[in-house]
Amino acid sequence: MSSELRQSVRRRAGKRCEYCRLLDWLTESGPFHVEHILPKQHGGGNEPSNLAWACSRCNSHKGTNLVGIDPDTTLQVSLFHPRRQEWDDHFVCDGPRIHGRTPTGRATAWLLEMNAERRLEIRALLIRAKLW
C-alpha cells in the first residue's frame, strides 16, 4: 500500500480511529493501521472505499469479523461500516463511555472493547484536556 494512500485514509478519518475515535497522535493509542473494512480474506481490496483508519486495538479486535452479537438482543448483526454509515447514527458518548445507539453500534462497541478500562482512562484525560 502506498504512503500516499495511507496518508489519504488518515486525513479522511481526521487523524482518529474510525471506530473508537481515539486520536492517532496519542502514544497511548498505539500504532494505527489502514484497516480493511471487508477483509481481504473475504474478498475486500485496497480501494479507498474499503479502507478505514483504525487504532491497533480496534483493528486487532475486529480482525476478519464482519458481524457481531448485539449484547442486548443476542442477535447477530453487521458491524459498523465507516464508509457506508455515520458514526453518530450508531454511537453516542456519555462522558468517556461509548454506547451503541443501534444493534450495529452495540455489537461493534462490545466486540472492539471500546469501553475497556484503559480506553476509558484515555478518553477521560482527553475530556479534561478539552481534546475530546
Domain boundary assignment for the chain = 3-128
Measured on CA atoms in the order 68, 106, 101, 35, is the torsion positive or negative?
Answer: negative
Give the per-residue pLDDT at 28. 76
pLDDT of residue 118: 93
pTM for this predicted structure: 0.94
pLDDT at 49: 96
**pLDDT for 24:** 93
Question: What was the pLDDT predicted at 27?
Answer: 75
d(CA 125, CA 44): 36
- Euclidean distance between CA atoms 60 and 53, whole angstroms: 13
Q: Is 47 left (phi over 0), alpha (psi -120 to 50) or beta?
A: beta
Handedness of CA 87, 92, 96, 99 (dihedral sign): negative
The CB-side HSE value for 89 (13 A sphere, CA atoms) comes to 8
pLDDT at residue 1 in the model: 81
| Full pLDDT tens readout for the chain, 132 residues | 899 999 999 999 999 999 999 999 987 777 899 999 999 999 999 999 999 999 999 999 999 999 999 999 999 999 999 999 999 999 999 999 999 999 999 999 999 999 999 999 999 999 999 998
What residues does 33 pair with on adjacent strands?
54
Return d(Cα 96, Cα 122) in angstroms, integer.
8
**Rounded-to-integer distance, Cα 18 and Cα 34, Å:** 10
